[in-house]
Amino acid sequence: MILTTKSELFRGSREVLRDSYVPSRLPHREEQIRRVAEILAPALRGDLPSNILIYGKIGTGKTAVVAQIRQDIQRRSDLASGVTFITLNCGNIDTPYSLLQTIANGLAKSDAERIPTGWSLDRVQSGMRRLMDTRGGILLLVLDEVDRLVARSGDNILYTLSQINTELETARLAIIGISNDLKFTNHLDARVRSRLNEEKVLFPPYDAPQLQDILRDRAREAFREGVVDPGVVERCAAYAALENGDARRALALLRLAAEMAERDRAKRITPDHVVKAKNRLEQDIIVDCCRTLPPHCKVLLYAILQSFERRRNGVLTGEVYDSYRRLAERLGLQPLHARSISNYVSELESLGLIRATIVSRGRGGRTREIIVDVPISETMPALEEDPLIAPVGRPKPRGQMLLTNFDNPARTDTF
């Protein structure tokens, strides 16, 4: 039999159903696109727009809308020559230091201009200001998932950025914050809140008919004609509408349903494939969630999984911190302080990956005991595939032979 990779279902690239793809049309977000574009319009005339906070639950199109507006503004290059977008996903950034460094390095035109690791925070800040002034014009800083940055490191960094215009000479900065925590501004200092909140745009969840429109657009682009059975789009939309009206979830269901159909060597995608996809998705969400954690948080999660796998029992935060520190050092990373790691424990808990309960240690005070809430057999290999974790991951068995150190079992311990 000749194996062919040509799909019978997909028209061309599968990327059309992936998160990174920015579709040309975003149905049911016309009002939000108009509002955000209107607020940013002064930038095209060289004037500083207001800061904006964009709110909405997960998968409501916040990132996609801003990406589309960015493309639109950049396309009008004659008008937009004095406008520079800097887009950061704060979910992947560990510290205020790396935030400033990433902003600065995004503006650097050559390696010589880039800010190396090891400078003091003040020096990074003035280096960043210099790069901003060298670029000049209007800088639009998109801080996606800004709530995660604040939960991790507080709002000092937002204060610094929101008053930076008083220190810039030729450039002017406007901030576009994106958050899926609707109460995010309650945690901000009043000064920061009023500066960031100059304009607010809310993204409501999609209902089932709206999700159907979004899916139909994508299905038309992704699949050959006639391969999607009636009921498929409706079922994906119905499941996702129940789960907070999340378009990402709806698209993931459609993509996975297609993969299930391919696995069955079916010529069409049926509603049954959507049911199978829904079951599979629960597992995949965990793996994806691990993959998008910031570096130190990944190392921490791996340390927790390793300890938990050995013990098959709850592990205390002190032990977890020691394991984390050893792993970080082996990876050549400067370990973060216990306080930051404690914030990451809370973050992993809010993502539903672990559970942490406070336990009393007699006179020794109180500590937290951590229990892993995901299947270790799938989560560990997923993390070990990550280039960051791979160097400290468990050795993969080669060929038929599995080497075990029977003489000294302690040596098989990875710590």
Ligand X SMILES: Nc1ncnc2c1ncn2[C@@H]1O[C@H](COP(=O)(O)OP(=O)(O)OP(=O)(O)O)[C@@H](O)[C@H]1O
- Which region among 59-67, 91-99, 323-331, 394-402 touches Mg ion (by CB under 5 A)? 59-67
Residue placing its CB nearer to ligand X in the complex, 258 or 328: 258
Q: Choose the contact partner of 333 out of Mg ion, ligand X, none; CB within 5 to 8 A by kind.
A: none
Residue 28 found at the interface with ligand X (CB under 6 A): yes
92 alpha carbon, distance to own chain's centre: 6
- 50 and 92 Cβ atoms separated by less than 8 Å: no
Q: How far is the CB of 200 from Mg ion (least distance, A)?
A: 17
- Using CB under 6 A as the binding rule, the residues of this chain from 237 to 276 that contact ligand X are 247-248, 251
- Using CB under 6 A as the binding rule, the residues of this chain from 61 to 90 that contact ligand X are 61-64
∠237-238-240 over CA atoms, to 5°? 65
Residue placing its CB nearer to ligand X in the complex, 20 or 186: 20
Q: Choose the contact partner of 180 out of Mg ion, ligand X, none; CB within 5 to 8 A by kind.
A: ligand X
- 204 and 56 Cβ atoms separated by less than 8 Å: yes
Q: How far is the CB of 64 from ligand X (least distance, A)?
A: 3
Q: How far is the CB of 27 from ligand X (least distance, A)?
A: 5
Residue placing its CB nearer to Mg ion in the complex, 148 or 325: 148
Token pair 């503006």: residue: 107
Of residues 32, 60, 63, 105, which one binds Mg ion by CB under 5 A? Answer: 63
Residue 208 found at the interface with ligand X (CB under 6 A): no
Residue placing its CB nearer to ligand X in the complex, 39 or 64: 64
Residue 29 found at the interface with ligand X (CB under 6 A): yes
Residue placing its CB nearer to Mg ion in the complex, 88 or 269: 88
Q: Choose the contact partner of 271 out of ligand X, Mg ion, none; CB within 5 to 8 A by kind.
A: none
What is the rounded CA–CA span in Å between residue 135 and residue 380?
44
| Residues found near ligand X in the complex (CB under 6 A) | 19, 23, 26-29, 56, 58-64, 180, 214, 247-248, 251
